């Protein structure tokens, strides 16, 4: 029961912070673009958190994602490194492909 109360308090505080940020932006002639905003929830309890209620900014729903890339770093909801490793392998394969093509082209 205490864990559920903590989760509810945390998400209520989280939503209040989003609303206060939105109000601050409006006061300072800035806009938040909800279509470019993503929500990622890192929750290791997973028992009752199959679906969280959506977050709204200026009446627009913020998209919930399971992972995203920020400044070249892949962040996932379980904080695993699998996506980063997969991205590095893909990038290496692309570079090796182009090197093989160059080798074939310039080899007589």
Q: Mean pLDDT for each consecutive 10-residue tract of the chain (108 residues)?
A: 45 78 88 82 63 77 80 76 77 89 81
Give dist(CA 62, CA 57) in Å, integer.
Answer: 7
Q: What is the structure's pLDDT at 4? A: 41
Closest by alpha carbon to 38, among 54, 24, 50?
54
In this structure, are 80 and 53 located in the same domain? no
Q: What is the structure's pLDDT at 56? A: 81
Closest by alpha carbon to 8, among 53, 65, 62, 59?
53
In this structure, are 48 and 100 located in the same domain? no
In this structure, are 4 and 33 located in the same domain? yes
In this structure, are 9 and 52 located in the same domain? yes
CB under 8 Å to 34, separation ≥6 — which residues? 56, 57, 58, 60, 61, 62
Q: What is the structure's pLDDT at 3? A: 44
In this structure, are 59 and 91 located in the same domain? no
Q: What is the structure's pLDDT at 65? A: 80
Q: What is the structure's pLDDT at 87? A: 77
Tell me the pTM. 0.52
């Amino acid at each position: 029961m205490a864990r559920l109360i903590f989760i509810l308090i945390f998400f209520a505080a989280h939503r209040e912070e989003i609303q206060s940020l939105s109000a601050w932006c409006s006061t300072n002639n800035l806009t938040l673009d909800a279509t470019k905003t993503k929500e990622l929830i890192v929750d290791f309890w997973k028992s009752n958190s199959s679906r969280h209620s959506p977050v709204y900014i200026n009446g627009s729903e913020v998209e919930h994602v399971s992972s995203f890339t920020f400044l070249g770093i892949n962040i996932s909801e379980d904080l695993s490194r699998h996506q980063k490793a997969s991205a590095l392998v893909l990038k290496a394969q692309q570079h090796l492909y182009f090197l093989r093509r160059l080798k074939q082209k310039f080899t007589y």
